[in-house]
Structure 1
């Protein structure tokens, strides 16, 4: 695991880019290299390299309209004598804060620290809070569940449209509160292919079923879908109901809400319709719980 502070990105990528751009902007206004070096707090040799294009910096910063506007504003202020070093620093700090709030610094931070991927991280802006911790816990649970699913002998029960493993945040209200695998999980050559790490908002049908179940029973926060089959339904134990519903997509959420009024079963399924593959949804208290139940059902078939 790589732990990297966003301040490292500021020092190693943002600052050299800002200096390179500002050196060029000041040179265009007739500033001598010695003056530019004094303004930037670097050597004349460094300024020479900036102007020669040897230190171009990070393109995502250099090409960003807000970065370009800020550099132009500082250069113009220096040239006109209307901006001092303190005000220039304030401009750059404001830009850094903006870039740390879902901006290019945030994007680079995700690349350098994969643990942040898919989290919509705002740790730099708001600090550590319960909402972020809840998201981390859900994503971690889904990742663990996906690994268990991929290692199980379950490929024959993955539907043609693919499987998804999902988990909802506490008090989830819509699909963006449900973490799942973008692109779904597919069976390939007898094995399981997982195309990406889980993200929030990556599921529709599994999320719809899970959200309806969660409204009826807030302890139900995990789900996984399998291909409906007589063997799978027969494997559901007597103390864990399997309940059917209409496969049509239109008004599906409303019909699921009505179905769950009498309680949430362990398995809900449909037998398909024109253009709709038969699907069974295994529900659980978490993504891991749902996958464990799904694998137990498959093991009972064998």
Structure 2
């Protein structure tokens, strides 16, 4: 892994762009190149290059509305004498913090460090925080689990028409925003599994409802996935000793219904299913301590079902 600090990107990509933008704006407001150089802390030769467009900078910043607005404010302030270097620096530091919060600097950082992609990284904004680490771990686990799911033999045949999903809750999750899943669900296309995006929190109410019900019953159970109900898989679950639990497809408050069924069982089952109803596809949930654990259980069910044929 290549370690790249966001501050490096600020120096190498952001600062030259903003200086070029400011030089142009100040020149348009009637400042001489020498005056511009004094304000920006660069040489007159550098200002000449900025104004001529020789140092074009990064279009991500040039086109960013926050950057454009800040440069305009600083240019107006410096040209009118209503703003000094301290004021301009304060404006720029505020802008940098904004651009680090899921803005262009954050985008560039993820490009330079691909390991950050899909983790919802906000280290620049919040600093090191155990809660942030927990969120990163959950997102990484769901991402790995989704890829494993996609490579599970015969998985395409198990994806319902409405798609499937896989989710995992944070410890002590309170609602669906504390459950990470794949936005837009996972679909089967031409016999292949398509994962449309990296996981996000609050991306699936359907799976989150099941995960939250499971976690309320057993805090150690934080992962789940949904597939189409399949008799061979249910038979495989019985053969493996998982005792599938049936629940009502038409129950209005599914979360409450699942909690009641789990309480009746006295535990969260590895496999819970319904056989569908009018307008409702038959669905099976596979539960695990983590999202990866749920995929592992599904793999066991698929292997057992194939051996039994």
Hey, what's the Cα distance between the residues in 2 that align with 1:72 and 1:141? 44
Hey, what's the Cα distance between the residues in 1 that align with 2:250 and 2:23? 63
Higher mean Cα deviation, 125-134 or 73-82? 73-82
Hey, what's the Cα distance between the residues in 2 that align with 1:108 and 1:201? 25
**Pick from 271, 274, 281: which aligns with 1:270?**
274
Aligned pair 1:294/2:298, yes or no? yes
**Alignment check: 8 A CA contact 1:119 1:200 kept:** no
* Alpha-carbon distance, 1:281 to partner: 0.3
Hey, what's the Cα distance between the residues in 2 that align with 1:118 and 1:234? 37
TM-score for the superposition, normalised by structure 1: 0.91
**Alignment check: 8 A CA contact 2:121 2:136 kept:** no
**Alignment check: 8 A CA contact 1:216 1:261 kept:** yes
* Alpha-carbon distance, 1:130 to partner: 0.7
* Alpha-carbon distance, 1:101 to partner: 2.6
Corresponding residue SS for 1:259: helix
Name the structure 1 match of 2:131. Answer: 131
* Alpha-carbon distance, 1:47 to partner: 2.0
Structure 1: runs of 5 or more not aligned: none
Alignment of 1:202-281 (within 5 A): 202-237=203-238, 239-248=241-250, 250-262=252-264, 263-281=267-285
* Alpha-carbon distance, 1:267 to partner: 1.0
Higher mean Cα deviation, 201-210 or 75-84? 75-84
Hey, what's the Cα distance between the residues in 1 that align with 2:58 and 2:230? 54
Corresponding residue SS for 2:285: strand
Structure 2: runs of 5 or more not aligned: none
**Alignment check: 8 A CA contact 2:143 2:198 kept:** yes
Name the structure 2 match of 1:199. Answer: 200
* Alpha-carbon distance, 1:98 to partner: 2.4
**Alignment check: 8 A CA contact 2:165 2:182 kept:** yes
**Alignment check: 8 A CA contact 2:251 2:257 kept:** no
Q: Deviations over 1:36-93 (max 9, x none)?
A: 1222222333322322334343334334443233323322332233332233222211
* Alpha-carbon distance, 1:249 to partner: 7.0
How many residue pairs align between the two structures?
Answer: 302
Higher mean Cα deviation, 225-234 or 44-53? 44-53
* Alpha-carbon distance, 1:104 to partner: 2.9
Name the structure 2 match of 1:179. Answer: 180
Higher mean Cα deviation, 196-205 or 123-132? 196-205
Q: Deviations over 1:195-217 (max 9, x none)?
A: 33222222221121111111111
What's the Cα RMSD here? Answer: 2.1
TM-score for the superposition, normalised by structure 2: 0.89
